[in-house]
Structure 1
């Protein structure tokens, strides 16, 4: 395929504009560092906690409206085996933000945490916090791979550009401005990127619906004459477990992303953080509607009337590229270029957030508190930048060669849902949770998830749950195994924490056995006093001060 020179030129101009805005925002960040009461590293991580509601809504929405969201939703609606009912992104993300605003924004922002891992560090100490960083870091790397794979496939279709080259260039731009400006660069580029996504995708819709190759979508709900299925889809009883599992994964797993809390903690107050979450819930849902329409239109199109021809994309194994294919063959050329620009914008708006979130957690919760307690602010800023680079390169390396954006999208949140989400519930809302329970829950959730297998990563299933099937030589679980692992992890944290506390309270467990230091030693004259968790001690001291 020849390179689309005008389209490539347009994308290059767009990238330059984004890079310039990112560099401008990095200068603004330096000005804020001089006037902000917080440290320089806090300005890089949470923007000095003075981000307005409007900017907060833009950056929060843009983070979730990534390449995986746009392309994955269109892929699900288009795929004959799925359909609209399996396009879980819009309703799941709406639920995610509403729950975040109701139950997580206030307890996190009111205590002025810097990262999502801060409450764990305050209660459990450094060792367990470092352990919890691993699933969060792995999830972020997979998320980067997902959104870059989405962009690579789109550019190869519309611009005729090598997928690998597209991935490398896009990753380079995102890494550069995130490296330079931290949260300010991420937030202000998100405004431009989200605006461009909204305008370009909605502009494509009328041209898609009026294309001669597209049947009336409303008349093809019951039957798609081209590929013999409805774009609405069907949920069979035997698939209900898998559907519920994936829906809960997207709706609840997102509550364990540092990218979410980075925006919550950047708000000026707890109330503002909650408003940002609620507003983002509506905007992220609206941003998913164009992808749903594009997937439905593509499923009703007669591809034989286009240059693409037959067989249709699904039969060629190109369902993951259905959005760029629809834009290329069912809209004018100039609109398809706008479409690729929207995907590029979506990719960068998510990638920069993910890069900064991983870098923030490593710098704040590992390097600053464990490895180099005496590190200067300048040193911490460089650690953030180097971490951005490392995570970006790792995600870029995994982005090559994956065909299913929807699959990577799901896997990226797997560990967070199964392992980190129950931990976050307990550390924020369960006062007696301690490090023994946290470690037990972590182990149970991780073990159950690993034994359930993951075809996308080549991990075989050891536990075969009811309803499993073999599809193309690979075992696929139709039981809600992720949710089972999450509930087991949650139960483990609560049950073990309660039993251990009971053991110390009734002196069934000697104080000398407190190897993790979850309870402080009793002093003379306090023999009848219950051992006090370290977090409660810190809270009492802070109150007195």
Structure 2
């Protein structure tokens, strides 16, 4: 089959359009500070916030992965749409208002303020891994689509897409990402809605063939895995920098709550056409199409089900429009996860650990370099990916077993301290590694109940690990505080400052640093003759600063 010239031209035009919008949006952040680049000056409007929050989830992995699991296992296993819908709602109404009122810049600011810079930096590692897996899953989804519809090497599409996303993310930061998200989400909607009726009405499609199989089945031996996947998608879908970056960019907590709630509904609705495409793919008699591959489609090729439906069950113009939707979905999430990685590295690692007095210009360059590095690493992983949905689930796995209990404890439980968090962190990592992971060929060293060589772990060991991590954080925090406060251990050994005196010292230092940063920003804006920053930018709901500094003499 020759290269689809018309489709190739349309993809090039689409990429040029997105790049142009990203460059145009970058003008909003021209001559601005690194803070403005990371959270869009905290002035993002409600409509743009809704679009960009939705687009962070509705990416290529979400669309392709939902169609894949729908075709291979049935709707009962298509857990991501429901789980992420609930996760968005919980995040928007429980976590987001607290984070936005505190005026943080990243997800990990509360960790570093309460636990110290080193412990906070340790918590960034699962986020880095999750973002890289997420980026890889997204780019891999596009590669499979383009390789089938345009008949070109999927490596070319993966690399070119990453280059475009990196380019406008470097130029405009969150403003470029948000504005391109609006256009991309509209293209996704149009592309999928147009393609679905053509695919479903193809002569080879007979829905009577899948009246039972489309529902899927959860066997007793699969119940543990089923519970785990729901948990890691639902609760593991909350502690993501890519989501909280948009929360912290909203004008106020109320808008963050509204945008999250509307985004949760939109996320679910966008999965409907993907589900229908998956059912259509499983209901098709591929012998009646021009498809020349193995029939029935083997499990290893199920990640290609959406591009196969677009290519063989839709007219060429429609398949090109559908491919535009997938390309848009990829861009909308790839740029977000790349910027997320760069934001955390520049703010919570580079600045907090190595260069506390780094100039704004220096931090801007660090962000740009980090964007390039994140794009390159995600691309490398995508080029070797075997399953889109597998990568999609794996990235939430890290958030679920490690970061969710840590984030919840730090944000809501006063007793939490560095000792509890570090112990819980190490405990959850060790237990998760012992449980094994076939996706990355990690052997099973600890066999939980109901384990078999054929099906692997049948016990919800990820959920057990998450719960035990919670218990470890709380119990070790209480124990360490008791030992230091009763002088069973001398306070000079309190390296994490869990005693009130040491804790308060660190908070005073943090308050001074906040005031210094504010003054520096005022001076920079005064030099540029811009509107000066007011003291309202100082966090007003920061648990640490409010309760331990202002409330005590």
TM-score (normalised: structure 2): 0.91
What is the aligned counterpart of 1:507 among 487, 494, 498? 487
What is the aligned counterpart of 1:516 among 488, 496, 510? 496
- Seen in structure 2, the aligned counterparts of structure 1 residues 316 and 519 have a Cα distance that, compared at 3 Å, is closer
Partner of 1:320: 303
Partner of 1:43: 36
- Seen in structure 2, the aligned counterparts of structure 1 residues 411 and 172 have a Cα distance that, compared at 3 Å, is same
Deviation of residue 313 (structure 1)?
Answer: 5.3
What CA deviation, in whole Å up to 9, does each residue of 1:382-419 have, x standing for no partner?
11110000011011011113221010111112211111
Q: Which runs of 4+ in 1 moved over 4 A?
A: 531-537, 542-545
Find the aligned partners of 2:82 and 2:544 in 1 and give their Cα distance.
Answer: 41
Partner of 1:424: 407
Deviation of residue 467 (structure 1)?
Answer: 2.2
- Seen in structure 2, the aligned counterparts of structure 1 residues 17 and 542 have a Cα distance that, compared at 3 Å, is farther
Q: Residue 518 of structure 1 contacts residue 534 of structure 1 at CA under 8 Å; is this kept in 2?
A: no
What is the aligned counterpart of 1:64 among 37, 54, 57? 57
The question of 1:190 aligning with 2:173 is answered: no
Partner of 2:232: 249
Partner of 1:464: 447
Deviation of residue 312 (structure 1)?
Answer: 2.8
Partner of 1:127: 118
Find the aligned partners of 1:537 and 1:289 in 2 and give their Cα distance.
Answer: 43
Q: Residue 519 of structure 1 contacts residue 534 of structure 1 at CA under 8 Å; is this kept in 2?
A: no
Between the two proteins, the alignment pairs up a number of residues equal to 517
The question of 1:298 aligning with 2:278 is answered: no
Q: Residue 141 of structure 1 contacts residue 395 of structure 1 at CA under 8 Å; is this kept in 2?
A: yes
Q: How does 1:156-175 map to 2 (within 5 A)?
A: 156-175=147-166
Question: 1:470 aligns to what SS in structure 2?
Answer: coil
What is the aligned counterpart of 1:113 among 94, 101, 104? 104
Partner of 2:7: 7
What CA deviation, in whole Å up to 9, does each residue of 1:449-474 have, x standing for no partner?
11111111121110111222334xxx
Partner of 2:193: 202
Partner of 2:169: 178
Deviation of residue 520 (structure 1)?
Answer: 5.0
Question: 2:341 aligns to what SS in structure 1?
Answer: helix
What CA deviation, in whole Å up to 9, does each residue of 1:240-267 have, x standing for no partner?
1101100111111111110010011001
- Structure 1 unaligned spans of 5+: 34-39, 224-229, 523-530
Partner of 2:84: 93
Question: 2:358 aligns to what SS in structure 1?
Answer: coil
Q: Residue 83 of structure 2 contacts residue 233 of structure 2 at CA under 8 Å; is this kept in 1?
A: yes
Deviation of residue 138 (structure 1)?
Answer: 1.1
- Seen in structure 2, the aligned counterparts of structure 1 residues 232 and 108 have a Cα distance that, compared at 3 Å, is same
What is the aligned counterpart of 1:541 among 521, 527, 549? 549
Find the aligned partners of 1:353 and 1:310 in 2 and give their Cα distance.
Answer: 35
- Structure 2 unaligned spans of 5+: 508-542
Find the aligned partners of 1:119 and 1:166 in 2 and give their Cα distance.
Answer: 39
Deviation of residue 359 (structure 1)?
Answer: 0.6
Partner of 1:16: 16
Question: 1:105 aligns to what SS in structure 2?
Answer: helix
Q: Residue 519 of structure 1 contacts residue 533 of structure 1 at CA under 8 Å; is this kept in 2?
A: no
Q: How does 1:319-398 map to 2 (within 5 A)?
A: 319-398=302-381
The question of 1:26 aligning with 2:17 is answered: no
Deviation of residue 309 (structure 1)?
Answer: 4.8
Partner of 1:480: 460
TM-score (normalised: structure 1): 0.92
